[in-house]
């Protein structure tokens, strides 16, 4: 499903962050998600793929990967490894 098929029920000047990730002062990675904007599991998959592509572009742009394609491969390999053997227990909660 293309991003154009995701329904957005607000004007762009009213846009709010969907997802914010940050490392806190203790070194823990935290994620805040606006669940009202998720829509469906399929939409989340599209959003994650878009984030992956943006991250690959950022890595290549910053000189942290030689190309976007190589960055994508490394991201996907690390993603699959993390799914197979999680290093984070995601012990947070939902607000």
**Per-residue pLDDT tens digits for 6-62:** 565 555 566 788 889 898 898 888 888 988 888 889 989 988 999 999 999 999 999
E strand or H helix at 39, and its extent? Answer: none
Q: What contacts 24, CB < 8 A, 6 or more positions away?
A: 30
According to DSSP, the residues that pair with 23 across neighbouring strands are: 29
For residue 92, give both structure tokens. Answer: 């947070």
Higher pLDDT, 65 or 34: 65
Are 68 and 56 a contacting pair, CB within 8 Å?
yes
Angle formed by the axes of helices 68-84 and 41-61, nearest 10°: 130
pTM: 0.73
Are 44 and 37 a contacting pair, CB within 8 Å?
no
């Amino acid at each position: 499903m293309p991003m154009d098929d995701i329904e957005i029920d607000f004007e762009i000047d009213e846009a709010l962050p969907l997802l914010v990730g940050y490392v806190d002062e203790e070194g823990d990675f935290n994620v805040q998600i606006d669940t009202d904007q998720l829509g469906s599991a399929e939409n989340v998959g599209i959003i994650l793929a878009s984030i992956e592509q943006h991250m690959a572009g950022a890595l290549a742009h910053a000189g942290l990967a030689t190309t976007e394609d190589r960055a994508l491969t490394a991201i996907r390999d690390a993603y699959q490894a993390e799914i197979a053997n999680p290093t984070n227990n995601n012990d947070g909660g939902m607000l």
